Amino acid sequence: MRRSLKALLIVLALTSLYLGLWPVPVDPVAWEAPKAPGLVGAFAVNDRLRSADQLPLDGHEGPEDAALGPDGRLYLSTRSGHILRTDAHGEGASVFADTGGQPLGLDFAPDGRLIVADAYRGLLAIDAAGTVSVLATEADGLPIRYADAVAVAPGGRIYFTDASTKFGAEAWGGSYPASLLDLLEHGGHGRLLEHDPVSGATHTVASGLQFANGVALTDDGAALVVETGNYRVVRVELTGPARGHLTPILENLPGFPDNLRRGLGGRFWLGLVSPRNGIVDALAGWPRLRSVVQRLPAFVRPKAESHGHLVQLTARGEVQASLQDPEGYGFVTGALETPEHLFITSLRMATLARMSSKSLGFEGP
């Protein structure tokens, strides 16, 4: 009996030492998470996404982002590292190119090249033949460790996010595990970058962002940037003396915001990849406990939950619609709008979701 008790006490002591002292990669920062608003008001639970068509992806999964090419076809980034191409209706998916990394954000340049934010390789360009070239791997002397989302201005300048300068996607086993580390630490390692296609230079527009995710451009010379770690969308000035200045336009979202893409008619589409987590919010002001959480087995740590959620907003951050699917198409990252369809993308699904513009109450620009 005494030996058993002694053994138990030793195990408990070793466990306490492990949970309290074992080195972890994160150095959590205390912050005050806003009280989660829940799915009420403009975000009230509904099933408007449930009727979406599910389009196969030729055996691939995780259509993170979609872009409409000058040829009228759709291009999709996938978890496998492949860029898929479909017809204008999102059908007939086939491999267009392989980045050799993990492509996330997509957009087209005026010269017809597909611009890719690749979480492993940096900022890439792919020509019509599927040939991949590297545009940028560092900015202002700092490596681009987690290129995430991209938006190309009409003049050709490329704006993209480096989600975390500390927790690189490739170094930490992929974009998802790296994002969990950055969100847990809340250290402000994200930045918005600008690439000049003429000079080839890449510079920082804004830094200190809490997991810089989606980006979209406005008509008046600004970028709307998603701060996943702060549950918000901010406006970042791109020109003049106010360049780099941040102004929150949509705060305290009920989920973790992901991609942001400009649609038609002044609309913007924002994906909420997962609902807020009460444990994560409760631990915001307790950095030491967050270190303990990181020492726990992965299967008991907080993780993303599936609840399909797409938000329509204006350039001023006004919420116009909330489209949801609580049980079906989940882990929604964002959407691409064309005159006929709205294509909904996902972090994990093996299909691309599609709804008709007519069913949503609008058609054309």
Q: Summarize pLDDT for 315-359 with one digit per residue, the tens.
A: 999 999 999 999 999 999 999 999 999 999 999 999 999 999 988
Give the pLDDT score at 362.
74
Cα 252 to Cα 34: distance, rounded to the nearest angstrom:
6
Phi-psi group of 189: left, alpha or beta (phi > 0 → left; psi -120 to 50 → alpha; rest → beta): alpha
Q: Give me the residue label for tokens 């030996």.
A: 3
**b vs e for 225-255, b when ≥16 Cβ sit within 10 Å of the residue's Cβ?**
bbbbbbbbbbbbbbeeeeeeebeebbeebbb
Structure tokens at 208: 């200190």
Residues of the chain with confidence (pLDDT) below 50: 8-9, 11-18, 21
The CATH superfamily assigned to 37-360 is TolB, C-terminal domain (2.120.10.30)
Answer for the pair 327, 267: CB distance below 8 angstroms, yes or no: no
Query: pLDDT tens across 285-301, in order?
Result: 999 999 999 988 888 88
The CA distances from residue 338 to 101, 208, 284, 364, in Å, are 28, 34, 39, 7
Q: Which helix (H) or strand (E) element contains residue 38?
A: none
How far is residue 49's CA from residue 348's CA, in Å, rounded to a whole number?
A: 16
Instruction: Tell which residue, 122, 71, 121, 120, has the closest CA to residue 96.
Output: 71
> What burial letters (b/e) apply to 159-183, b meaning 16+ CB within 10 Å?
bbbbbbbbbbbbebeebbebbbbbb
Query: What's the gap between Cα 51 and its chain centre?
Result: 24
The contacts found for 83-87 with CB under 8 angstroms, 24 or more apart, are 83/114, 83/116, 83/126, 83/130, 84/57, 84/58, 84/60, 86/55, 86/352
At 282 the pLDDT is 96
Q: How far apart are CA 232 and CA 328, in angstroms?
A: 25
Task: Map out the domains of the chain as residue ranges.
Answer: 37-360
